[in-house]
Amino acid sequence: MTDAFTGKTWWIIGASEGLGAALAQAIDARGASVILSARSGDKLTQLATTLNDAQVLPMDVTNTDSVNKAAAQARHADAMLYCVGTYEPMDAKVWEATAVEHMIDTNFTGAARVLADVVPHYVTRGSGHIMLIGSLSGYRGLPAAVGYSASKAALMHLGENLLLDLRGTGVTVQMANPGYIKTRLTAKNDFAMPQIMSPEAAADHVIRAIDSGRFETAFPRPFAWLFKWGRYLPRALFNRVF
């Protein structure tokens, strides 16, 4: 199998902390150059000092001009990894429009903004690698997940679209769907989170998913099985679990 990392350049979007930062470190350790993007230039600069070959490229995925300018500077990248995520636990009965719209704009529409440049460029070039970070919560509707669950489901569906449309173009499309990761976002939860992972452990899963060449990887097992195969359970039975 072709090495996806050694001598390659990966554009990591959402690299300032959590899983994105852990992935930047893991990909750097595999011999790749990295382009680090997120809104926080200071955090990216600090992370870059710990890496072998890193370029800092601040970008706000909710701003089209910011995305276009950054994409123009990252066109030499061999691969793009979208690891942006924002989350607010929310029950539909207490709907907060601004928070819901921000989750959708960041987690899904932001990816579409980036892909609007990346996909045509990779297709024209005849090579490229796209990795999207979804979520186990995107497999089926969950309680108190208005905005987040739906936005991740949309991103995962978009990945399926890309897989079909980009066959034969030289562009590789992959998707990794993690469970709970210990970050400032999951710290907002007031419930038990089974098999919660460190960012480093989750990054290791993503790296192994990239190496595998599989389109879709859900982790950690066996928790992931509940979500991935739960789509085929009767809805009433699935809902009873939650």
Catalytic position from the list 82, 87, 122, 148: 148
Q: Are 130 and 118 in contact (CB under 8 A)?
A: yes
| Alpha helices, DSSP H, located in the chain | 18-29, 41-48, 64-73, 97-104, 110-125, 148-165, 199-212, 223-228, 235-241
Please give the backbone phi and psi of residue 84, each rounded to the nearest 5 degrees, phi first.
-85, 140
Residue 178 preceded by cis peptide, ω within 30: no
Catalytic, 87? Answer no
**Residue whose tokens read 């893991």:** 26
Conformational region of residue 62, where left means phi above 0, alpha means psi within -120 to 50, and beta covers everything else: alpha
Report the alpha-carbon distance of residue 171 to residue 166 in Å, rounded.
6
Report the alpha-carbon distance of residue 13 to residue 59 in Å, rounded.
8
The residues assigned a catalytic role are 148
